[in-house]
Amino acid sequence: MARSEGRFEGKVVFITGAARGQGRAHARRFAAEGANIIAVDVCAPVLPDVSYESATVEDLHETVRLVEQEGRGIVAHVADVRDQASLDAAVAEGVDRFGRLDVVVANAAVASYHLTWEVPEEHWATVLDVNLTGVWRTVKASLPAMIEAGNGGAITFISSAAGLRGYSYLGHYAATKHGLVGLMRSLTLEVGQYDIRVNSLHPGAVDTVMGNDPDVPRIIAEDPRTTGAYTGQRPLGGGAQLTDDISNALLWLSSDEARMVTGITLPIDAGAAMR
């Protein structure tokens, strides 16, 4: 039976943090709609003393399997968004193989939970380097190929509800996610001339390994006054978002259906950011 064409037939999508969770879900969904994928993930711990497990090389291999199962090609690298050369190499191999780059999803992130004045200096530096500077490096690796190809395109930063409001115990994380908004808005003004759109998505808690960090219930139990942001009423009720909830918005935002949408902060959080 002939394969039906999707919204991204013949296009190429670069995704960071693609070994599991949101990144894997996005890779699978883009592939299902016709895209070839460039996928990177560090596949190793980047922070000491965090309670959720890091992605592994085997996780990245599973992402490869799922993309290939959709009949699409994938270039997958173990690469750290803190290392410009590794990102450049992944993009170069992908563009060499697939001939273009159309969509960038800056998804890689890390989190830990500390009162702001108790954040270990290593955690502060690493969270900023991965979540904010790593996105800037992703842009640096991607934009020259997109501009040279002259096909326009879409760049999406996966931010957080913590990029639109404050969360206790996440001061360092929220600082990076707010920072992405400023970076996104500035980049939007610079690349519109190339028909490249830039936006940010702001999920709430997503049902992933990182999103289910076992530190969160402990913090809520120990400090209910300051953790109300985690437990307060949301218009659409409680519970975590599914990865497909985020992918649904991301694929629309990256598609020609959203060709006039740029410079926006789109919450996918059951209304959490409006509290």
- The sheet carrying 36-41 orders its strands as 74-78, 36-41, 12-16, 103-106, 153-158, 196-203, 265-268
Question: What is the pLDDT at residue 182?
Answer: 98
Q: What is the pLDDT of residues 149-193, one digit of tens each?
A: 999 999 999 999 999 999 899 999 999 999 999 999 999 999 999
Question: What is the pLDDT at residue 53?
Answer: 85
Q: What is the pLDDT of residues 50-82, one digit of tens each?
A: 777 889 999 999 999 999 999 999 999 999 999
> Does residue 209 contact residue 52 with C-beta atoms inside 8 Å?
yes
Residue 263 has pLDDT above 80, yes or no: yes
Q: Tell me the pLDDT of the chain averaged across its residues.
A: 90
Task: Read off the pLDDT band of 235 (50, 70, 90).
Answer: low
Given 52, 173, 194, 230, the catalytic residue: 173
How many C-beta atoms lie closer than 10 Å to residue 266's C-beta? Answer: 18
Question: What is the pLDDT at residue 134?
Answer: 98
Catalytic site residue 173?
yes
d(CA 231, CA 60): 33
Residue 240 has pLDDT above 70, yes or no: no
Residue 3 has pLDDT above 70, yes or no: no
CA 230 to chain centre: 21
User: Dihedrals φ, ψ of 73, to 5°?
Assistant: -90, 155
Task: Read off the pLDDT band of 223 (50, 70, 90).
Answer: confident
Question: Which residues 6+ apart lie within 8 Å of 180 measured at CB?
Answer: 131, 132, 135, 157, 159, 163, 200
Domains and CATH numbers, the chain: 12-270 (3.40.50.720)
Task: Read off the pLDDT band of 1 (50, 70, 90).
Answer: very low
Question: Which residues 6+ apart lie within 8 Å of 275 measured at CB?
Answer: 165, 229, 232, 233, 234
Question: What is the pLDDT at residue 2?
Answer: 41
Q: What is the pLDDT of residues 81-138, one digit of tens each?
A: 999 999 999 999 999 999 999 999 999 999 999 999 999 999 999 999 999 999 999 9
Q: What is the pLDDT of residues 26-42, one digit of tens each?
A: 999 999 999 999 999 99
Share of the chain above pLDDT 70, in %: 86
Task: Read off the pLDDT band of 47 (50, 70, 90).
Answer: confident
